[in-house]
Structure 1
Amino acid sequence: MQAIIAFILVFGSIVFFHELGHFIFAKRSGILVREFAIGFGPKILGIKRGETLYTIRLLPMGGYVRMAGEDMDTVELQPGYRIGFLLNDADEITRVVLNQNKQLPDMLFLEVEKADLLKGLWIEGYDEDEKLVRYSVARDAIIEENNQQTIIAPYDRTFNAKSLPKRTMTIFAGPLFNFILAVIFFSIIAFVQGIPTNDAVIANVVKDSPAQVAGVQKDDLVVAANGTAVKKWEQLSEVIQENAGKEITLDVKRDGEIKTVKVTPESKTVNKEKIGQIGIQYGIEYKKDPLMAIPYGFEQTYTFMVRIVEILGTLVTGSFTLDSLSGPVGIYKATEEVAKYGFMTLMSWAAMLSINLGIMNLLPLPALDGGRLLFFAYEAVRGKPIDKQKEGIIHFVGFALLMLLMIAVTWNDIQKFFF
């Protein structure tokens, strides 16, 4: 149960924040958002608030924000349709009922001749007296069919009607919010747990090692090596490794006093290279500094972004395999292990996953945010967008291939962990 809760918290938070980025910038751009979904597939839970349906769906493979104009969701009233409708005080149609057998108070009827529910917002047809009439349609009119209600989307409220910068920012906001979430998580960790100092603090001294023989003790803080100030553990490690068989001088701080010891690193062969070792182990110390928590959050986020991009470089070299990828099952098993080490470790894991999701979504592949941004870049250079039908086909094929890859990765995870 603990693993399930941990997985829901981790996966749910990073997907929610990703889609929240799309949602907020879509709303700020004036785009009609039809649905905010966590997961894919059959709906488990749905709540309608305003013009948006908020849902949780069965398959935990991501989420989506469905915006008007993206999925060819414009309702078309063909000539010959017989519709029922309601009017407001300004004689504007506020509700169109396509079910001929449904009756509502004050409902009027019309046989459609022509209609424009996108730009002109009007319906023209023959009334009960067979007289040709035209009615304006309210911008928030509802179309009802088979008890399903859909708000019409005037053209200026569709995704494609917005300027290129607004569309770009709406799509880029998803990955951006993943990076912001990582900054928040790392900042919280730094605020609660403290910031690793990376000081050259000795956590342990190996018995009978050159360090113990020379008088180095546990909890000593090395402040200088061979007369050069030591600020980080890496500096001390570098001096020791470069002086195999040569005596070095260490200034250590112990009980508030500075003591000087001389030690000769042993020569060890590591990866066919001779390096010096004195038999000491690194100890992480944390320093609580609330003012540095947020800068630390940005620093850690940037560090992991660079690492993940370097790993993705294996896609170019071809040195990655299917085993190096993980789907929901692999993430669940990893989250199960991480959760054993406490909430702070789980939060750090969530931050890294959030960065990973953000970067993966920025890859210039169809069906991903990066693929859509690539089309926007093409539009900016060409001066006009690519044909929407062609773009739709490319995204559909990309999505299908992505789902096949996800199925393969998930099956590989199942075999790896359960067989």
Structure 2
Amino acid sequence: MSSSSPSTFPSRPGQRILLGISAGIAAYKSALLARLLVQAGCEVQVVMTEGAQAFITPLTLQALTGRAVRTSLLDPAAELGMGHIELARWAERIVIAPATADLMARLSQGMADDLLTTLCLASDADKILAPAMNQAMWRNPATQRNACQLHQDGWTLLGPDQGDQACGDIGPGRMMEPEAIAAFLLGHTQVETPEETSPPLGSTQGQGIHIVITAGPTREPLDPVRYLSNHSSGKMGFALAEAAVASGARVTLIAGPVNLPTPAGVTRLDVESAVQMLDTAESLMDTCDIFIGCAAVADYRAESPAEHKIKKQDHQPELTLRLIKNPDIIATLAARPDSPVMVGFAAETRNVVAYAQDKLKRKGLDMIVANDVSAEQMQQGLGFGGDRNAATLIWRQGEDILTQDEPAQDKIQLASKVISQALKCLELSS
């Protein structure tokens, strides 16, 4: 959503907006939002939670809106005038910015334990919230379930944006900028609906579906202390598992040797080699609806790993290793007569899309995610080891092969789009 200067907003005299502010550091942005709305001709009534007042004072908002800020449900003076029920009826729109994880949890459960949540329950107004919280809090499955429930209850969610956060983290969770929120409220821009874009984290699109995901590298032993492997960190596969859980699916993650915490709600099975990964995956196929092969599986392994450490010989300047091909995990599973929807990954350094399309056809896959892992991309922090990635999604739709380019973005955002498209492929196959 693009931002605009106040002078470009269309005037909407008389639009009555109840601006709710909850206890987050982003509350300072709400002052600018209130000012922009007032400048555009809106009537703005601010309601603050008790915690919000620790971040910004009611007097500041009163000066910007020309209205006394409401903070308490049990305020005798306020109830003599515009009581909370009358205030709920007055509002044409309720906008909560910032909306903390705590407030979203209370709203999703229908609680009415302070003035703001009571007004939300008592009002038939359009309801909009702009989430703002630490990236880990936003990604937590509990928050995602609450976001999904609020969406189902009719709330419009604006954001969150991603980027630097006050705590020093980087990722999704930043409150959308006041100019962008004002632009939406004043009709300058629109928010894409779930039918127009991938469902946000928190969707229940995957309810009742079992998704099996492989992640990370494999290690192929040469001797007891050495192995063949690659640079895969496992971050993309773990992000896919996180996004799959957020979609409502049951998720089993087959992880190669990585140093990553298990996402909440995920069943994790650790393996080392390609053969172990294949054996584990095959044991899950009877209940699997979607298989996503995100692991960077070693193409070759030692024909006969040494029983003891291979010693360096001063008189032997060269060492010859005899390697044999590892099983092709995704092709093996795709060849099964009862194979689930098969999603592969193609990490290439050139001719990325062409090679990926060939792999899609050659291995009988339903979908493939093409990654450019060239040195130029790696220097930009994309791909192996980074927190961001860019990709091209390629999938079958009948006789057609469709593609969708995804620019550089946080891996959890890209993962959500991959999961969404994989679920659509499952729908097409049924």
TM bucket, shorter chain = under 0.3
Q: TM-score, normalised by structure 1?
A: 0.22
Which structure has the bigger radius of gyration?
A: 1
**Greater relative contact order (CA < 8 Å, ≥ 6 in sequence):** 1
Higher helix share: 1
